[in-house]
Amino acid sequence: MTEYEIALEIDARGSFCPGPMMELIKMIRQAEVGELLALLSSDEGTRNDVPAWIKKAKHELVEIINLEDHDRYIVKKLH
Partner 1 sequence: MKNIVVVGGCFAGITVANKLVRKLRRKDAKVILIEPNEFNIYEPQYVFWGFKKYPQSKFTKPMNKVLSGKVTWLRTVATHIDSVKKQISLSNGETLPYDYLVLATGAKMDEAQVDSYDDDKIHHFYLADATKKLQDALKNFAGGTIVISPSTVPYKCPPAPAEFTFLLDTYLRKNNLRDKTTIKYLYPLMRPYPEARVSEKVQKLFDKRGIEFVEFFNYETVDKENRKVISLEGEEIEYDLLVLIPPHMGHEIIIDSDLGDREGFVRTDRFTLKVKDQENMYAIGDCTDMPISKSGAAAHFSAPALIKNILLEMKGKVPTKKYGGFTVCFVVTSFRRSLLLVFSYNYAPRKFGLHNLFLYGLFKKAFKIVYFKALIKGYL
Three-state secondary structure call for residue 17: coil
- Of 22, 61, 62, 65, the one binding partner 1 by CB under 8 A: 22
Report which DSSP code applies to 30. H
C-alpha span between 1 and 64 (Å, rounded): 12
Considering only 13, 61, 64, 65, the residue that binds partner 1 (CB under 8 A) is 13
**Binding to partner 1 by residue 37, rule CB under 8 A?**
no
36-41 and 6-11 beta bridge pairing:
parallel
What single DSSP character describes residue 58?
A: T
**Binds partner 1 (CB under 8 A): choice among 6, 25, 60, 78:** 25
The residues binding partner 1 (CB under 8 A) are 8, 10-23, 25-26, 29-30, 43, 45, 49, 52-53, 56-58
